[in-house]
Structure 1
Amino acid sequence: MKSKINIKSVIIESICLLYILLFVYAALSKLLDFENFQTQLGQSPILSLYAEFFSISVIVIELVMAIFISIPKVRYLGLWGAVVLMSMFTAYIVIILNFSSFIPCSCGGILEKLGWTAHLIFNLGFLILGITAIRLNAKSNRIVIPFAIAVLAGVIFVTALFLFSEDIMEKENPFIRRFPNASAAKTDRIDLRNFSYYIIGADKDKIYLANRLAPLQILEVDSDFKNKKSHTITLDRENFKFRTVEVRLNPPYFYVIDGSVPVIYRGLISTWKAKVISDGKFRFSDIIFHDGKQAFIRTQKQYTGENILGLSNNYTGSEIQYNKGLLEKQIDGIFDTDGTMQYSRSLRKLIYVYYYRNEYIAADENLKLQYRANTIDTTSKAKLKVVKLKQSGDTKLAAPPYMVNRHTTLCDNLLFVNSLLRGRYEGNDVWKHATAVDVYDISKQHYILSFYVYDEEGFRMNNFFAADSAMYIISGHYLLKYGYGKNLKSKFKK
C-alpha cells in the first residue's frame, strides 16, 4: 500500500516538475525576447487585436501557474489552471492548422523551432500529463464533468477570440498588418542600366516600360526576363508644346498623353505608330483608358481648381460626364483629394485611392459611386498645411505632406497599395530596408494581407505593376519580378 502511494507521489511530483520547467522556461524566453514575442502575437489571427494585453498576461499566467504548482497547498489548483491553459494553447494550434497556415509560433526558445504539428503533439502530451496528475491527486472520482466544463470553456474562449478578431481585422483593422508566408517573393531581376524607366503595363507574356527622359522609347521584356526588345513610337503630328509626355497601355492599344496639352494619341502595340484621336477637347491631370472610346479623367473645376472626376464617352467630342460628389473635400479640394486611379476590367470598377487619407472609392463604368472603403491605417483626415498666395492666387503646400498611400496597382479584384506608414508591431529595422504593400479585395471591401518589397542594392521600390501571374517592380535601375505565392494566388477572383 505504501509502495503504491510512493509511486503515485513520484508520478505527480515528476509531472509537476515538468510543468514548472515548461512554464518557467517559456515565460523567460518570451520575456528575454519580448519585442519579437509581441510582434508574433500581432501577426496571430486570434490575438492580433489583443497583442499588448496577451503579451504580458501570458507571461504572468505561466509564472503564476509555475509558482502554484510548486507550492503543495495550492498545487491542485495550479494543475487545474495548467490543464485549462494547455487546452487553450492546443485549441489555438488546432485553429492555426485548420484555418491559417502563416502564423509564426509565439513561443520562445526551443519550442519556437517546432513545427505546428509537432507543437500540437507536444501540447497534447502535456495535456494528458496534467489530466493524469489531477486524477491521481483528486480525492473524489467526480472530476469528469468539472474537467470537461473547464476545458470546453477554454476552447470556446479561444474560438470566440478567433472569430471576433478575424471579422475586425478584415473590416475595421486597427492598423495591424499580416505578413503570411507564401504571399509574394522575388524570383528574378534584370538590370535596366537606367533610372528613368517606369512600367506602363503588360500584354500576354510581355512587360512594357517607358522612359521619362526619352518619352517615345519603349522597352519590351519577356516575363521570364530572357529577352529584351526596344521600340520607338512614331507620332503622326509633333507640333504641340509638350511638357511631360507619358505612355499608357491598354492592349491592343497604347496611348501617348500630356495632361497639360489637351491631345491624345493612340496606336497599336504591333506597330508602335500613333495618331491623334483627340485635339483640344479637354484637359486632365490623370486619365484611365478602359475601352476603345471611353476614358475616366481627373481634371479641375474651372474657378476653384478643385479636383473632379469625369467620364469621356468619345475622344473626338468635348462632352464630359462629371460626378461632382465622388471626391470629397476636406481642406482645399485640390491637394486633399489628390490620389491614384485604377480600373478593373474584369469587375468594371474604377478605384480611386487618396494619397493623404485612409480611403478609397469604387465607382462603376458609368462613374456612379458603389462604395467608399478604408485602408488599414488610421489617418482619416488629410494632414496638410495649405496656403494661398496673395499675388498669384495659387494654392501651395507650406510644409511637406503627410502621405499615406503612394503607389497603387490593380489586378482583377485585388488592389495593391504601397503604404508609407508603419503599422503596429512592425519593427523599425525592417522599414529601413523594405517597402510595405497592402492587398485589398475590392469585391469584398476588406483587407487581405501585406508583404514587403525589399530594397534592391539600396534602391527603394518606386513603381510597380500587378499582372496576372506576378508583380513587376522598378527599384532604382532594376526591374524585379515578385511571384505570387499560394496565399495570394488563392485570393484572385477570375
Structure 2
Amino acid sequence: MIRKKTYTVLLICTIGSMSLVVLMFILTKKEIQRDMSFKRGFLHDAPKKIHELDLEYNNYYIAGAADGQIYLGNPQSPLYLTVLDTALQSKEVIHLTMDQDSLPLRSPQLRVTPPYFFLMDGTVPYVLRGRTKDWKAHSILKNPLYFSNAQPMDSVTLAIRAISNKTKELVLGTISLMDTAKANLSYKLLEKQVDGIFDTDGTLQYNQQLRRLIYTYRYRNQYIVANDSLQLQLLGNTLDTISQAQIQVGTIASKNQRKLAAPALTVNNYSATSGNYLFVNSKRLGKTESLFLWEQSSVIDVYDLTENSYQFSFYVADIETQKLTTFQVLNDKFIGLIGNHIVTYQLGDRFKEPQQPPATTALNSKKQVSEYR
C-alpha cells in the first residue's frame, strides 16, 4: 500500500514537472518574440471597426479604392471585378472585356485608379488598360518587359519591381507605356544584404497625393521613398531595431534556384499609403504590449512621411482566428481583408481629406538621404 502511494506521488510529481517545463518553454518562446527596444503608442480614441462583410471566399485582393468605392479582384476569376461601397452595403460584379480573344493568366493583377484600370501579368508579360466608364481593356505593352509587381503612377507609367537581367537581383523601376514601352531601372534604391532577392523582398506602393514610390522591406526595419525619377528622397526606419535581414538562403541544385533554407524573421508584413501617411502591419511585439491582445489581432503602425516620424499604432481584430492579410487606406477609412471577410475601420479627423505636404518636408530634404547613405 505504501509502495503504491509512493508510485502515485512520484507519478504526480513527474507529470507536474513535465507540465511546468512545457509551460516555461511556451512562455520563454513567446517572450523571445518580444522586442524590448521599442514601445508603441496607442490612442485612447483608437480607430474602430465600423463595417464588416462576409465575402464567402478568401481569395480576394484589393485592386483599388477611390471615390467611396472599393474594388476587389480575384485571381481565379481575373476578368471579374467586385465593387463595394465603403459602408459595405452595396455590391456590384463587373465583367471586364478585352481586345483579345484570350490571354495566358499565370499571375494576373488588377489595379483600379479611376478613370483608368489595368490588367497586368508581369510573368507573361502583358499590360492592358481601359477606362472605368466602360471597363473595356486594350493592350498597351509593346515590348516584353517582365516584372513581379506593379503599381500605376498615372495613365501611362507603372512603378515596378523586377529581377534584373544584369545582376539577377531585385530592382525597382518604372515602365513607360507610351508608343514604345521602355523600362527605367534603378540599381541603387534596394540595398543587398544577403542575396539580393529574399533579403530585399517587400511591399511596393505608389502614393498618388505625394507622387512618391514607397517600398517597405519585409525582413528589416526600413522603407524607401523615391520620386518619379527613381531618386531616393527618404530612407525611413520602422519602430523595431532589426536592421539586418535575418534569413538563410539555400540552393536547389537540380533547378539552379535559390530558396529560404529556414523560416525568416518577418519584420513588416504588409504596408499601404494614403495622403502623408504610411501604414505598416508589423510582426514585432513591442515592450509592454499585451501578448493576449497581440495573439488576437494585427498591429498597424502609422508613420508621417512628410515628417519622417512615427505617429501611433492601432489593432485590427482577428475574425474567427483569421488574421489581417492585405489592406488599403482611402482617406479616413482603413480597409482590410481578414479570411473571408472585409472590414472598414474609421480613422481620425486628420485623415479625412487628402493632405498636401508643406513646402519643406522630409521628402525634399537632402539631409534625410545623406543621413542614411
What TM-score results when the alignment is normalised by the length of structure 2? Answer: 0.82
Q: Is 1:395 aligned to 2:258, yes or no?
A: yes
**Which residue of 283, 287, 290 corresponds with 1:420?**
283
Whose strand fraction is larger, Structure 1's or Structure 2's?
Answer: 2
Matched residues in 1 for 2:254 and 2:338: separation?
41
Pick the structure with greater CA Rg: 1
* Gap regions ≥5 residues in structure 2: 1-35, 357-373
Distance 1:318 1:432, change over 3 A: same
Q: Superposition pairs for residues 336-347 of structure 1, below 5 Å?
A: 336-347=199-210
**Which residue of 176, 194, 205 corresponds with 1:331?**
194
**Which residue of 231, 236, 251 corresponds with 2:99?**
236
Structure 1 residue 326 displacement after superposition? 0.5
Name 1:254's counterpart in structure 2.
117
- Which amino acid in structure 2 is aligned with residue 259 of structure 1? G
Distance 1:359 1:250, change over 3 A: same
Give aligned pairs, total.
Answer: 321
Q: Is 1:481 aligned to 2:344, yes or no?
A: yes
Q: Is 1:493 aligned to 2:323, yes or no?
A: no
**Which residue of 223, 233, 236 corresponds with 1:360?**
223
Name 1:378's counterpart in structure 2.
241
Q: Superposition pairs for residues 110-121 of structure 1, below 5 Å?
A: none
Name 1:459's counterpart in structure 2.
322
Identity of aligned residues (%): 36
- Which amino acid in structure 1 is aligned with residue 213 of structure 2? L
Structure with bigger RCO (C-alpha 8 Å, 6+ apart) = 2
Structure 1 residue 247 displacement after superposition? 0.5
Name 1:91's counterpart in structure 2.
none
Name 1:165's counterpart in structure 2.
none
Matched residues in 2 for 1:182 and 1:375: separation?
23
Distance 1:308 1:354, change over 3 A: same
Structure 1 residue 318 displacement after superposition? 4.0
Matched residues in 2 for 1:196 and 1:315: separation?
33
**Which residue of 58, 74, 96 corresponds with 1:195?**
58
Name 1:468's counterpart in structure 2.
331
Matched residues in 2 for 1:316 and 1:286: separation?
22
Structure 1 residue 485 displacement after superposition? 2.7
Whose helix fraction is larger, Structure 1's or Structure 2's?
Answer: 1
Name 2:162's counterpart in structure 1.
299
3-state DSSP of counterpart to 1:281: coil
Distance 1:389 1:483, change over 3 A: same
* Gap regions ≥5 residues in structure 1: 1-51, 53-173
Contact 2:51–2:345 at 8 Å: present in 1 too? Answer: yes
Name 2:11's counterpart in structure 1.
none
Distance 1:240 1:215, change over 3 A: closer
CA displacement 1:435-454 (0-9 Å, x = unmatched) = 00000001111110000000
CA displacement 1:370-397 (0-9 Å, x = unmatched) = 1211000111000111013333321111
Contact 1:413–1:441 at 8 Å: present in 2 too? Answer: yes
Q: Is 1:278 aligned to 2:141, yes or no?
A: yes
Matched residues in 1 for 2:83 and 2:185: separation?
36
Contact 1:186–1:482 at 8 Å: present in 2 too? Answer: yes
Contact 2:332–2:353 at 8 Å: present in 1 too? Answer: no
Distance 1:477 1:403, change over 3 A: same
Name 1:288's counterpart in structure 2.
151
Contact 2:278–2:304 at 8 Å: present in 1 too? Answer: yes
**Which residue of 284, 299, 304 corresponds with 1:436?**
299
Name 1:309's counterpart in structure 2.
172
Structure 1 residue 238 displacement after superposition? 4.3
What TM-score results when the alignment is normalised by the length of structure 1? Answer: 0.62
